[in-house]
Amino acid sequence: MDGRTFPVYVIDDRCNVYEHIGKLAERSNFVFYTSSDNTLYFKKYERRDEHVLKYGSDIIRIDMLKNVGPFGTVSVYGESPSGWAGRETYHWLTKKEVVGVSSKQFLEGQKDVSGAHTFAVQDYAVKDSDTVAAVSESVSSRVNRRLEVTLKIVGDPRIEVNDSLKVERLDGFGFNPNLRVTDVEHYLDKVDGFTSIVTCLEEDLM
């Protein structure tokens, strides 16, 4: 079975189904999106045939959003089961604390830029130590994504969510040229003509 396994997962009207699926994807460090043909994808990221874009010809503008203070430690607190059967039970009384901790070091050149802060989250769907450890790694990967790149390009309808991009002629920008597409918007107007706004994450941080 793909993704994390939970003995029970409660769905209520505080979130719609799409949002709940997104939360499950975050716990498993999966990509989650719908395609132009209305297919829902929920899976691990896999490289696809990449699009090559060149700054100055295909790319009109590059915007970068950088996380300057990554979290050195991420702690996930699960809901302890009432018995010792781990995730096979889901009562509300507790027997022991279920905690997962992920600690990472982030370097810029030789400088350690790991954040001094801890990111802590309570996740009541997690009931055992193995799952909470895996979820803490997934949460750490999500909150420590250090760079989001937005490209304004000459319109290209072939680029879709979860495609792979390689950006060339990047002298001076200082980010990984291998990117994964997380969002695409297409525009057509009298001033700029057909353009696409492509939002990406650095591929090695998935």
The domain ranges of the chain are 46-67+145-202, 71-144
Supply the CATH classification number for the domain 46-67+145-202: 2.30.300.10
> Tell me: the pLDDT tens digits for 162-204?
899 999 887 777 777 889 898 999 999 999 999 999 999 887 5
Asked if pLDDT for residue 43 goes beyond 80, the answer is yes
Asked if pLDDT for residue 74 goes beyond 50, the answer is yes
Q: Evaluate whether 150 touches 41 at the Cβ level (below 8 Å).
A: no
Q: Evaluate whether 8 touches 88 at the Cβ level (below 8 Å).
A: no
pLDDT band at 25; cut points 50, 70, 90: confident
The CA distance from 119 to 21, in Å, is 22
Q: What is the pLDDT of residue 187?
A: 95
> Tell me: the pLDDT tens digits for 87-122?
555 555 555 666 767 766 555 555 554 556 777 877
Buried (b) or exposed (e) across 75-91, using 16+ Cβ within 10 A? bbbbbbbeeeeebebbe
The CA distance from 5 to 27, in Å, is 10
Answer with the residue of higher pLDDT: 127 or 80: 127
Asked if pLDDT for residue 84 goes beyond 50, the answer is no
